[in-house]
Structure 1
Amino acid sequence: MRKFKLQVQTTVDGYMSGPNGEMDWMTLPWSEDLASYIDALNKPIGTIVLGRKLAEGFIPHWASQPADETQEGIDRINNTPKVVISTTLTESPWENTVVASDLVETIRELKAQPGGDIIAYGGGTLVASLIAEGLLDELHLIVNPTAIGAGMPVFGATGANQQFDFVAATPFECGIVALQYAPKKS
């Protein structure tokens, strides 16, 4: 069965964006060791899962061939099939992307299919739902050395107490630390 991973940028105080969606708190540019870590995390990926709001910026950003990214990374993101979870879209305006409305059924079907791992890159509503429904196999929190005091929490509206097993902590030269957890299985 395919693994389903979450990769999300966060502040040390647990926010994935500022109160108005600001992302100016992220530590950039990344150091080479962090870029290598992210590359290794993403190489086995066969499907990307996004919420609609994130998809509206994420997909066009990568399609624009951003100059600050490697061509290999750009091609990997653009060529990997994507699933956008949305209750408002009925069809995809983007290439290589399908829209699904039932989160739990969609993820269970994806995990049962052959192929590379599945990754979600964030989006507050999607992340909270994935955690609340117990759909993730791995959480990769990319913790930036910044506190912003308010914003969209990584673990907002996840329901009951969520338990995780610690897997690894990896510090990087740029000051970011990657924390890896796995949901505790009952």
Structure 2
Amino acid sequence: MSRKINASLFISLDGVVEAPDQWHFPYFDDEMGAAVGASLNTTDVMLFGRVTYDSFAGAWPGREAAGGDDAGFAKQLGDMRKIVFSRGRLDLEWRNSEQAHGDVAEVAAALKSEPGGDISLSGSVSVVRQLLAAGLLDELHLLVHPIAVRKGMRLFDEGEPSIPLKLLTSRTFTTGVLHLVYGPDTAPPTGGYEEAVATLPE
């Protein structure tokens, strides 16, 4: 059985995934922390775009060294293999980090064929988009926050073809955040207006 690739994203009601540090924290609680932590328990490789990696590398090593409440989680991240996608050459100082050699689809497909635990992403929207387009993402975890941010990059950009997904699980947190898990839909529903009309009560 091949490894799974899972991506987790904080997202607003209007689809914004950019700069969650500006709107996410009021909704963070133990429920969300448990959900985020659970997604990493089966992970031994993380994939990053450069911007997200820089954000993580600029914060988590220091938190691990500080020995605070989140030091255990920080150590867990530090101990994982971390693969970073970037067009430019990178100087990666966070331990167990390496730059990807090849494009996203090539590297992800090769990793899935290797033995090991799951492969995860947190943020890294450009990488998530490429995995979705290539049909390589097994689970898309969306933590939908009850706020319309109204500015910033959305998860799904303009393009063709469409990407059908199916809902695997859903959960509502007490904060109103929805934890929705989607997977690829290999047999999406079909039909048009006539079929829809036929389902209406007479």
Q: Work out whether 1:35 is the aligned partner of 2:36.
A: no
Q: How far does residue 102 in structure 1 lie from its aligned partner after superposition?
A: 1.5
User: In the alignment, is the contact (CA less than 8 A) between 1:4 and 1:119 conserved in 2?
Assistant: yes
Question: Normalized per residue, which structure has more helix?
Answer: 2
Amino acid of the residue matched to residue 36 of structure 1? A
> Percent same amino acid among aligned pairs?
27
CA 1:54–1:145 in 2, change beyond 3 Å: closer, same or farther?
same
Q: Which whole-Å deviations, capped at 9, do the CAs of 1:44-71 have from their partners, x for residues lacking one?
A: 0110000011111112211111777523
User: In the alignment, is the contact (CA less than 8 A) between 2:63 and 2:70 conserved in 1?
Assistant: no
Take 2:123 and 2:94, find their aligned partners in 1: how far apart are those partners? 18
Larger radius of gyration: 2
- Residue in 2 that maps onto 1:9: 10
Q: How far does residue 163 in structure 1 lie from its aligned partner after superposition?
A: 0.1
- Residue in 2 that maps onto 1:124: 125
**Aligned pair partner of 1:46 in 44, 47, 51:** 44
User: In the alignment, is the contact (CA less than 8 A) between 2:11 and 2:142 conserved in 1?
Assistant: yes
Take 2:91 and 2:60, find their aligned partners in 1: how far apart are those partners? 20
User: In the alignment, is the contact (CA less than 8 A) between 2:79 and 2:95 conserved in 1?
Assistant: no
Q: TM-score, normalised by structure 1?
A: 0.89
Question: Normalized per residue, which structure has more strand?
Answer: 1
Unaligned runs of at least 5 residues, structure 1: none
- SS of the residue 2:46 aligns to: strand
Amino acid of the residue matched to residue 33 of structure 2? A
User: In the alignment, is the contact (CA less than 8 A) between 1:168 and 1:181 conserved in 2?
Assistant: yes
- Residue in 1 that maps onto 2:75: 75
- SS of the residue 2:26 aligns to: coil
- Residue in 2 that maps onto 1:147: 148
- SS of the residue 1:76 aligns to: helix
Q: How far does residue 157 in structure 1 lie from its aligned partner after superposition?
A: 4.5
Q: Which whole-Å deviations, capped at 9, do the CAs of 1:85-138 have from their partners, x for residues lacking one?
A: 111125534321111142111101111111110001122322221211111000
CA 1:28–1:79 in 2, change beyond 3 Å: closer, same or farther?
farther
User: In the alignment, is the contact (CA less than 8 A) between 2:105 and 2:130 conserved in 1?
Assistant: no
Aligned length, in residue pairs = 183
- SS of the residue 1:143 aligns to: strand
- SS of the residue 2:57 aligns to: helix
User: In the alignment, is the contact (CA less than 8 A) between 1:145 and 1:175 conserved in 2?
Assistant: yes
